[in-house]
């Protein structure tokens, strides 16, 4: 009987990211439209986002903050956890919510999953671009492949 071929388990793949399982970094500039950041209901949307962030992002190793710098509302995201679970889902839900409610918003989300088997894999960052109400996965041209770009 012939042996069945299988894809390697994530735990069988030699990742150079020493202990890191899921890392996330991102930012979003909030804007109602691509023409003007506030066309009348930006404050309402910001209050709704603030409530979502305060209620949903309570994990100690993931920080999501809504900040204001020079009158510009922004969401910053940073975290490092053992593996992507409900926290990663919540981040993506938040990004989709921003793209829907504030379609003039823009930003990037960088994610690294040391257990990723499917593209982009364990040696690359997954980049999500948010622009003009769209959320799109992109290849990372800056930090990937992690080995040899930033690690040996």
61-100 pLDDT per residue, tens? 999 999 999 999 999 999 999 888 888 999 999 999 999 9
| Nearest CA-CA partner of 105 in 25, 52, 36 | 36
* Spatial contact of 108 and 26, defined as CB atoms under 8 Å apart: yes
Q: Is the pTM of this model over 0.85?
A: no
User: What pLDDT, on the 0 to 100 scale, is given for residue 47?
Assistant: 96
Using DSSP's 3-state secondary structure scheme, residue 71 falls into coil
CATH code matching the domain that covers 17-149, chosen among 3.30.460, 1.20.1630, 3.30.70, 3.30.420:
3.30.70
Q: Which stretches does DSSP call E strand in 22-133?
A: 22-29, 62-69, 72-81, 106-113, 126-131
Question: Which DSSP symbol is given to 12?
Answer: G
- Say how many CA atoms lie within 13 Å of 112 toward its Cβ: 22
User: How confident is residue 39, by pLDDT bands cut at 50, 70 and 90?
Assistant: low
């Amino acid at each position: 009987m012939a042996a069945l071929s299988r894809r390697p388990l994530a735990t069988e793949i030699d990742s150079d990211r020493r202990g890191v399982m899921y890392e996330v970094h991102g930012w979003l500039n909030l804007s109602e439209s691509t023409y003007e950041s506030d066309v009348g209901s930006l404050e309402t949307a910001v209050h709704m986002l603030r409530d979502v962030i305060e209620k949903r992002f309570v994990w100690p190793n993931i920080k999501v903050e809504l900040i204001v710098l020079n009158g510009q509302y922004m969401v910053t995201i940073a975290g490092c956890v053992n593996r992507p679970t409900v926290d990663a889902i919540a981040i993506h839900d938040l990004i989709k919510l921003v793209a829907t409610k504030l379609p003039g918003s823009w930003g990037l989300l960088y994610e690294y999953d040391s257990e990723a088997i499917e593209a982009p894999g364990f040696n690359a960052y997954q980049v999500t671009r948010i622009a003009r109400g769209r959320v799109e996965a992109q290849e990372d041209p800056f930090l990937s492949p992690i080995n040899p770009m930033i690690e040996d």
